[in-house]
Amino acid sequence: MKSGNENIKIDGIDKKILRYLMQDARKPILEIARNIGISGAAIHQRLRKLEKSGLIAGSKFIVNPKVLGYTTMAYIGIFLDKAMSNPVAVKQLEKIPEVLECHYTTGNWSILVKVLCKDNEHLMHLLNKKIQQIEGVSRTETFISLDQQIDRQITI
């Protein structure tokens, strides 16, 4: 077992706290305390417990890429040569900032990546000049996301 143990027990109060903070990481603990009728110190202590358990992985500001002109999201299935060691390809993908996610997957492809580009031209350039260029990449299949309807975390 690594740092966080997996035998965490979370009760209804923990869930309430988490739901507030998953929605707004900067919501003051004291405000949450007033809302759910418990002291700030108690919440503080519970958060320390949840952090220690590894359930809370951190917090993030969420940026809206559209405002910066990034409007084209796509998934790309990548076929790798059998001889190719996948980790080497992943290391190359890591260097490409447009690649936001990368998964080893079962099924057709070796790897599935999610990318974010400014437009179709940008995506085409990414495919032809960057991804296809990676050693071991034999073929790709691209699926453009026309519209994302759902984007959320696990329900606590």
Q: Which residue from 15, 19, 28, 133 is in contact with DNA, where contact means CB under 7 A?
A: 28
Verify binding: residue 22, DNA, rule CB under 7 A: no
CB neighbour class for 94 (10 Å; exposed up to 12, middle 13-18, buried from 19)? exposed
Q: Which stretch binds its own copies (CB under 8 A): 30-38, 124-132, 137-145?
A: 137-145
Verify binding: residue 4, DNA, rule CB under 7 A: no
Q: Which does 40 bind (CB under 5 to 8 A by kind): DNA, its own copies, none?
A: DNA
Residue type for position 39: S
Paired tokens of 31: 């405000």
How many whole angstroms separate alpha carbon 49 and alpha carbon 60? 20
CB neighbour class for 151 (10 Å; exposed up to 12, middle 13-18, buried from 19)? exposed
How many whole angstroms separate alpha carbon 42 and alpha carbon 138? 56
Indicate the length of the chain as a whole number.
156
| Total of residues contacting its own copies (CB under 8 A) | 64
Q: Which residue from 85, 108, 128, 138 is in contact with its own copies, where contact means CB under 8 A?
A: 108
Residues that bind DNA (CB under 7 A): 13, 28-31, 37-42, 44-46, 49
Residues that bind its own copies (CB under 8 A): 4, 6, 8, 18, 21-26, 53-70, 73, 75, 90, 93-94, 97, 99-109, 112-113, 116, 141-156
